[in-house]
Amino acid sequence: MKKHILTLLLALIATSVCAQEQKEQKEKKGWISAPKFSGYFLGTYVANFQEDNKSNTFNVRLLRLILKGKIFGDFEYTVQGQANGNTKDLGSSPRIVDVNIEWQRYPFCRVKAGLMKIPFTFENPMHPIDIGFSTLAQNVTALSAFSDRSGSVSSNGRDIGLLLQGDFLADGTGRPQMHYEVGVFNGQGINQADVDHRKDIVGGITYSPVKGVRVGIYGWEGSYARKGKWTDRDGVEHDGVKSLARHRYALSAEYKDEDWQLRTEYIHHTGYGFKNRYQSKDDAKDAEVNWDGGDKADGVYATLVAPIIPGKFRAKARYDMYRPTGDWGHSVSRYEAGLNYLFNKYVEIQTEYTLVNDRSLAADHHNYSMLSAQLCVRF
């Protein structure tokens, strides 16, 4: 009898120990999810038929590798790296373009910190393949922290900071109709410390009355700064921190479903830029201002992508205009048309033909054309 009781006690102890171990393993697994790995590749061919500047070349535009996962249930982390085919300045490749964590417990109040996309315009945060064209619109590139008009380092639309965003005002189906986002950023661009210690405030609000339709308004108040030598408009030389204001707003509208895209955005900018673009640490010490470039810029684009064969074959067109000095004398207008073919959801070919009218060039060189093709691979 005692033997049976002892055996039973040992069995109960063993069962208890196993249950505790399983509980601990479950809790251990619960605080961190299995990471999700993804990425994409973009390869391009571009032919430029501009007089005295003709060229054609294949290029590895970029390769992105993305790692995402959750920790402690409510936090999502993202790490994204990039390598590109830039042979002019290999120092910029490879590099980290995203590293952030977001608290997501409440859909109406999510908090993100780290290196991330700036909440400005519809097109900036879009996946490069989903835009439908091999390039971003000119106004987004120049006024949304890509090749920014201010002269800051090329930043893929990103900066370091803290972001608050959320969704609210659900319709009858539970779909939120309103989305807001507002962030505080260094204002210096990707992987750059603050220089003038004046933070940029960027944010916007969008309204989606029905599924697929949304309108939005965005604002950006801040500055871009360098520490070095510069000359003011009176010819007086200075040596120290020079901050250039960035006052921007954007108006956006879009309809989008699986095959159709109709999108337009207008962006306006006030503020001077530096003469040279940041490409190395030495450039950051050159604080000379481009006074001749003025303190105004704006641009607008309108995109249409329509199905020929739903889910497979699409036609597209885009009007893309940017005025780097806010006047028509230096405007650059692009008229683009093309075709996109989807082999499957992972592989796509995007082609386009572009007519360019660049009024900043000599009168007999205003107009020229370009041809491009882009191979897009997701994994």
- Identify the pLDDT of residue 31: 81
Q: 198 forms bridges with which residues in the sheet? A: none
Phi/psi class of residue 254: alpha, beta or left (left: φ > 0; alpha: ψ in -120 to 50)?
Answer: beta
Res 19: pLDDT: 46
DSSP assignment of 267-296: EEEES--BSS---STTGGGB--B-GGG-SE
Asked if pLDDT for residue 2 goes beyond 70, the answer is no
In this structure, what DSSP letter does residue 193 have? -
Cα 181 to the center of its chain, rounded Å: 15
Token pair 């959320």 is found at 166
Give 218-272 pLDDT, tens digit per residue: 999 999 999 999 999 989 999 999 999 999 999 999 999 999 999 999 999 999 9
**Mind listing the pLDDT tens digit for each residue in 303-342?**
999 999 999 999 999 999 999 999 999 999 999 999 999 9
pLDDT at 346 over 60: yes
Confidence at residue 27, expressed as pLDDT on a 0 to 100 scale: 45
Q: Is the pLDDT of residue 10 over 80?
A: no
Q: What is the pLDDT of residues 73-121, one digit of tens each?
A: 899 999 999 988 754 554 466 889 999 999 999 999 999 999 999 999 9
Residue 89 pLDDT: 53
User: Residue 100 corresponds to which tokens in the numbers above?
Assistant: 């952030």
The pLDDT score that the predictor gives to residue 78 is: 97
pLDDT 10s digits, 272-297: 999 999 888 778 888 999 999 999 99
* pLDDT higher than threshold 80 for residue 8: no
Q: What is the pLDDT of residue 29?
A: 54
User: In the block, which residue shows the tokens 């940017």?
Assistant: 322
CA distance 237 to 96: 37
User: In this structure, are residues 222 and 277 in contact, taking their beta carbons and an 8 Å threshold?
Assistant: no
- What average pLDDT score do residues 59-84 get? 93
Three-state secondary-structure class, residue 74: coil
- Which residue, 329, 348, 284, 279, is CA-closest to 130? 348
Give the whole-angstrom CA distance, residue 69 versus residue 78: 7
Judge whether residue 165 has pLDDT over 70.
yes
pLDDT digits (tens, 9 = 90+) for 168-226: 999 999 999 999 999 999 999 998 999 999 999 999 999 999 999 999 999 999 999 99
Q: pLDDT per residue over 353-374, tens digit each?
A: 999 999 989 888 899 999 999 9
pTM comes to 0.88
pLDDT band at 30 (very low <50, low <70, confident <90, very high): low
Is residue 142 helix, strand or coil? helix
pLDDT band (50, 70, 90) for residue 5: very low
